[in-house]
A and B are shown apart, each in its own frame.
Chain A
Amino acid sequence: MSTISTGAGPSSGTGLPGVPNLGRRRRPVESVIKAVLFCAALLSVLVTVGIIAALIKPVIDFFREVPFGDFFTTEGPYAVLPLVAGTAMTTVIALVVAVPLGLGAAMYLSEYASRRARKVLKPTVELLAGVPSVVYGFFALTFVTPTLLQDLLNLDVGFTNALAAGLVLGVMIVPTVASLSEDALSAVPQSLRQGSLAMGANRMQTTLRVVLPAALSGVAAAVVLGMSRAVGETMIVALAAGAQRNLSWDPRDGMQTMTGFMATTAGGENPVGSTSYNTLFAVGMLLFVITFVINMISIALVRRFRQVY
């Protein structure tokens, strides 16, 4: 120990380095531990590689038997476009619910709530994310469709429909949108607000015309991430949206989504390795690619809003 302190002496012009020259002396145990920890971190990359590897072989098997054109088409047993359309429909409805509600909650939490109120309210909103999605699915099926849509609103909806699934999906992703938007809004420097208020603007004008535009890329990231959650959510749509492939633009119809199809196929009687079983992986690959692209957009947007200030 003492050799280090005498050897290093007062540090010359490097300021306050976190670790002063500990790399100079070899420490085998330390290196081994570091390597082990590095492997644990590397595992996360391996998981991604693993997902792709896991998907690729069945997907290749699938496309060997089913031509590309039979997959990306609207009709036929392997057509994926009706599933994509169902996913798009439920996602759009979910965003219509979640974006205003999530953004409103975020604006209240960051601009209006006192510190103490925020400490209570934020975890309360986040409770919504803790409810299991199968419970939301059950709720959509047994309450939202029969009681809310059919009895109270008198809508002519089926037992399973995209509307109920989308609405409940929207409620589920409110915390995702609210939490990330709140971070972005809170990161806007106080001086911008003070400037706006000093010019005579009230809190609403400050929030809507100064803080929100300044935080726009962060808010956009929140919305995009919420969209990714909605695209990938399974149990709500598997239960409430229905299991019939339907290329319709009427949200009152039942529709099957990509994730709903995967749940049905995996839970059904399909022998492993058969073409119908491999469809599962083809759809899974498509889902992974879509959510991957959406996530990357969201991450890039977050980077941008962090760098502005």
Chain B
Amino acid sequence: MSAAVTTAREVTEAVNASVATGRSRDRGLASLVFLGALWFSLFFGVMVLVVLILDTVITGAPRFDGALITDYSSRVHPESTGFRAGILGSLWLMLFTALFAVPLGIAAALYLEEFSDSNRWWNRLIELNLQNLAAVPAIVYGLLAVAVMAAMGFQRTGIVLGGAIALALLILPVIIITTREAVRAVPQEIRQGSLALGATVWQTTWRQTLPSAVPGIATGTILGLSRAIGEAAPLIIVGLATGVRFDPEGLLSEITALPMQIFSLTSQSKEEFQVAASAAIVVLLVMILGLNALAIFIRNKFQRSW
């Protein structure tokens, strides 16, 4: 609460300055307190984020060494345990998740935006369903992936295929929704121009609309993948182990993932494991922030204004 008051005071001064210029109507005390509260709620989250990152980096600092990324995990020597298997596993999972989810997601989005008649009941059902799927708990997708694997006849758990199916299903709605927004942002005139020259709907979509929407699609896809890389809940259900000590070799190879390793280390009480977990979190956050930065870069670099 005291933080809110101090923020309010700072804001009071800042706003008083703008009152003098006559730009603001926020004169009463209530208004200023209200504005201060709004400022506080905006910056609270950012504050938490800063504390979280600082706390993790400080705790994990002793472990920023080469062994962190080149060695396998070790229960016997927690002070030199590494995350090679987890990092490689996460990258492999991401690759196959993208391979499964991206073509499907783009195809579904193109159908919904360019081909479907939104008055038909089945198209409306698909819409409603997508909105709902985007909010289904991640852990439920784990159960679904287990069932899909069983239906395909795979008895072994904890392999690349199962994890990738779970994550692909998880981010499919995200990719569809962002792709639709990117496609919708392409001006109607481009489609009309193409159609007027005699192109068919598919030719228009494939040669005009889709290329124009690629930056938006790429941004959405990368953000979806950065969500997938941090997800652990469905992977637990799919049965990923945490003590894997070899590199992934194929779709049927057993793997682990970085969030899984962090989860299992966190449940250990020994101090060295906590330090290792902090260091692993820093690695994971760097991967995710890197992906986010890439998404922002693509958006800024290739975004067209029509």
CB distance from B37 to the nearest CB of A (A): 6
CB distance from A142 to the nearest CB of B (A): 6
User: Which residues does chain B contribute within 8 Å of A197, judged by CB atoms?
Assistant: 25
Answer yes or no: A92 CB below 8 A from chain B CBs. no
Query: Looking at the complex, which one of B41, B233, B284, B288 makes contact with A234 (CB distance below 8 Å)?
Result: B233
Residue on B with the closest CB to A37? B111
CB distance from B92 to the nearest CB of A (A): 18
CB-CB under 8 A for A102 and B133, given A37-B110, A37-B111, A142-B59: no
> Chain B interface: which size bin?
35 or more
CB-CB under 8 A for A142 and B135, given A51-B140, A203-B31: no
Q: Within residues 1 to 56 of chain A, which ones have a CB less than 8 A from any CB in chain B?
A: 1, 4-5, 18-20, 22, 27, 29-30, 33-34, 36-38, 40-45, 47-48, 50-51, 53-55
Q: Do B130 and A125 touch across chains, with their CB atoms under 8 A apart?
A: no
Answer yes or no: B232 CB below 8 A from chain A CBs. yes
Answer yes or no: A233 CB below 8 A from chain B CBs. yes
Query: Looking at the complex, which one of B24, B55, B128 makes contact with A143 (CB distance below 8 Å)?
Result: B55
CB distance from A46 to the nearest CB of B (A): 10
CB-CB under 8 A for A5 and B26, given A45-B129, A133-B230, A284-B139: no
Answer yes or no: B231 CB below 8 A from chain A CBs. yes
Query: Looking at the complex, which one of A44, A232, A299 makes contact with B172 (CB distance below 8 Å)?
Result: A44
CB-CB under 8 A for A54 and B137, given A36-B107, A104-B37, A130-B226: no
Q: Give Cα A288–Cα B288 distance, bound, in whole angstroms.
A: 28
Q: Do B45 and A18 touch across chains, with their CB atoms under 8 A apart?
A: no
Answer yes or no: A80 CB below 8 A from chain B CBs. no
CB-CB under 8 A for A100 and B41, given A47-B172, A235-B233: yes
Answer yes or no: A103 CB below 8 A from chain B CBs. yes
Query: Looking at the complex, which one of A43, A100, A103, A259 makes contact with B139 (CB distance below 8 Å)?
Result: A259
CB distance from B165 to the nearest CB of A (A): 11
User: Interface segment, B64-72, B77-85, B193-201, B243-251?
Assistant: B193-201
What 0/1 readout, one digit per residue, does chain B (174-210) give for beta carbons within 8 Å of chain A?
Answer: 0010000000000010011001001011100000000
User: Which residues does chain B contribute within 8 Å of A132, judged by CB atoms?
Assistant: 229-232, 259, 284, 288
Q: Do A135 and B202 touch across chains, with their CB atoms under 8 A apart?
A: no
CB-CB under 8 A for A291 and B31, given A30-B200, A202-B25, A235-B263: no
CB-CB under 8 A for A171 and B40, given A37-B108, A131-B285, A138-B266: no
Query: Looking at the complex, which one of A54, A135, A139, A202 makes contact with B146 (CB distance below 8 Å)?
Result: A54
Pick the most buried of B41, B105, B144, B231: most chain A CB atoms within 10 A of its CB: B41
Q: Within residues 242 to 268 of chain A, which ones have a CB less than 8 A from any CB in chain B?
A: 259, 262-263, 266-267
User: Interface segment, A65-73, A186-194, A223-231?
Assistant: A223-231
Pick the most buried of A18, A103, A130: most chain B CB atoms within 10 A of its CB: A130
Q: Do B136 and A103 touch across chains, with their CB atoms under 8 A apart?
A: no
Answer yes or no: A121 CB below 8 A from chain B CBs. yes
Answer yes or no: B49 CB below 8 A from chain A CBs. yes
Answer yes or no: A298 CB below 8 A from chain B CBs. yes
CB-CB under 8 A for A284 and B230, given A37-B110, A202-B31: no
Residue on A with the closest CB to B234? A234
Query: Looking at the complex, which one of A44, A239, A280 makes contact with B173 (CB distance below 8 Å)?
Result: A44
Residue on A with the closest CB to B147? A54
Answer yes or no: A63 CB below 8 A from chain B CBs. no
Query: Looking at the complex, which one of A55, A128, A135, A267 makes contact with B284 (CB distance below 8 Å)?
Result: A135
Q: Give Cα A131–Cα B281 distance, bound, in whole angstroms.
A: 10
Q: Do B41 and A142 touch across chains, with their CB atoms under 8 A apart?
A: no
Answer yes or no: A86 CB below 8 A from chain B CBs. no
What 0/1 readout, one digit per residue, does chain B (97-133) give for beta carbons within 8 Å of chain A?
Answer: 0000000110110111001100000000110111111
CB distance from B228 to the nearest CB of A (A): 10
Q: Do B55 and A139 touch across chains, with their CB atoms under 8 A apart?
A: yes
Answer yes or no: B213 CB below 8 A from chain A CBs. no
User: Which residues does chain B contribute within 8 Å of A43, judged by CB atoms?
Assistant: 104, 108, 172
Answer yes or no: A157 CB below 8 A from chain B CBs. no
Answer yes or no: A184 CB below 8 A from chain B CBs. no
Answer yes or no: A127 CB below 8 A from chain B CBs. yes
Q: Do B46 and A53 touch across chains, with their CB atoms under 8 A apart?
A: no
Q: Give Cα A204–Cα B32 distance, bound, in whole angstroms.
A: 9
Query: Looking at the complex, which one of B27, B46, B143, B266 makes contact with A141 (CB distance below 8 Å)?
Result: B266
| A positions within 8 Å CB-CB of B | 1, 4-5, 18-20, 22, 27, 29-30, 33-34, 36-38, 40-45, 47-48, 50-51, 53-55, 100-105, 107-109, 112, 121, 123-125, 127-128, 130-139, 141-143, 171, 174-175, 197, 202-204, 207-208, 225, 228-229, 231-235, 238-239, 259, 262-263, 266-267, 280-281, 284, 287-288, 291-292, 294-296, 298-299
12 pairs, CB–CB < 8 Å, chain A vs chain B: A29-B202, A44-B130, A50-B144, A51-B141, A55-B143, A125-B45, A130-B288, A202-B25, A202-B31, A207-B34, A228-B135, A232-B139
| B positions within 8 Å CB-CB of A | 24-28, 30-31, 34-35, 37-42, 44-46, 48-49, 51-52, 55-56, 59, 104-105, 107-108, 110-112, 115-116, 125-126, 128-133, 135-144, 146-148, 169, 172-173, 176, 188, 191-192, 195, 198, 200-202, 223, 226-227, 229-233, 236-237, 239, 259, 262-263, 266-267, 274, 277-278, 281, 284-285, 288-289, 292, 296
